[in-house]
Amino acid sequence: MFDRIRNIKYVLVLFAIVIAIGSLLTSNYLISDLKQEEKNRMVVWAEAMRSLNTADENTDMNLVLTVIKGNHTIPVIVVDKDGQALSSRNIGKSFAADEDSISYLSAIAKEYRMTGRAIRIDLPQEYDQDDYINICYDESLMLKRLAIYPYIQLGVVVLFVLIAIFALFSAMRAEQNKVWVGLSKETAHQLGTPISSLIAWHEVLKETYPEDVLLPEMEKDIKRLERIAERFSKIGSIPEPRPEDVTGVLRRVVAYMDKRTSNKVVITTHFPDEPVIVNLIASLFEWVAENLCKNAVDAMGGAGTIDLYLDEDDKFVYVEVKDSGKGIPKSNFNSVFKPGFTTKERGWGLGLSLAKRIVEEYHKGKIYVDNSELGVGTTFRIELPKASSDV
């Protein structure tokens, strides 16, 4: 399922790229045509200005004035050979013929000339005050808007893709949560009947063989099964965390692992002497620590060292599980928490995924691979907000 979701994400990104490239190419093509059209219009307008400046009794002034007045969109400034503004049109507001306005228009005309938007008009020699004038123009407001439109469209497409991916992952996460809840509830339900039967048989055996030394161990295993069923039932609900001493929870985990691992596995604790209080769902967090320790034993092949560290600061409590196993490639640091990811021949790849859910959703903390080296070992780190913290 996750490969399918990833493929859909890539398709959406590719779709956005295709739309963006197509939009930019099409818009640039249209904008180039419009620029050329506006340039052609300015050539005609410049010719009309030349006719106006060289008019005689045979010049059709109606046509000339119609062409000049017909420009309602393209900003134009007419300057003399020295760059001094003579007249303007569509600059944005009307200007009085004072020194400040002329200087302002001349500066704008200079900017137009520097970008290549100027048309020179040579005047007859009898115009001794000027040999030529320049028609300086800018792009129309509509053309400028069209130039930025592709980028606005690109932003909308990117936003659409991001929303689609977010919705896709939200739907996937909701579906995944339903699977976890259903699986947990069903597991707790299925465990209930055999556990009840084992409790009954244990009571019968106690009455029949009261001195049997194996009965206490059997009772411990039955209680262990009851705790496991309780954990699965709580995953499907919303239990309320309570202030707990993390040290005590971790010591129970160490005691359990010591009895169920070989002498080749050495578990060392590095805990403070004083209690460390955190809002916990003790049974679930105990399962997280057990899962990390069991994974460490598997990674070491049943022989090596496991170090459990517990530390705190003003806001957080830190739990680290460090092993001397085979290590995890850096590229898999995030993948190990995805459902279905496993390096074991037998395994569903759900342990670390459930551990992440328990830590992040039920305890508002974080769990991640803090460090790992191939052939050296791995350190998993859990960060939990302290009971007294408002974080």
Q: Kindly report, residue by residue over 290-343, the tens digit of the pLDDT.
A: 999 998 998 898 889 999 999 998 889 999 999 998 988 888 888 888 766 666
The per-residue pLDDT for range 268-296, each reduced to its tens digit, is 999 998 999 999 988 889 989 999 999 89
**Domain 2-143 shares a fold with domain 240-385:** no
- CA diameter of the chain: 135
* Mean pLDDT calculated for residue range 60-64: 78
* pLDDT tens figures, 74-114: 888 888 888 888 888 888 655 545 556 788 888 888 888 88
Given CATH 3.30.565.10, say whether it is the number of domain 240-385: yes
Model pLDDT for residues 243-257, shown as the tens digit of each residue: 999 999 999 999 988
Phi, psi of 228 (to 5 degrees): -65, -45
Given this structure, which CATH class describes domain 2-143? alpha beta
Q: What is the pLDDT of residues 312-323, one digit of tens each?
A: 988 899 999 999
Buried b or exposed e, range 327-360, using 16+ CB within 10 angstroms: bbeeeeeeebbebebbeeeeeebbbbbbbbbbbe
Spell out the domain ranges in the chain: 2-143, 240-385
Establish how many alpha carbons lie within 13 A of residue 311's alpha carbon, considering only the half-sphere containing its beta carbon.
Answer: 7
Residue 15 confidence (pLDDT) above 80: no
Q: How far is 307 from 379, CA to CA, in rounded Å? A: 9
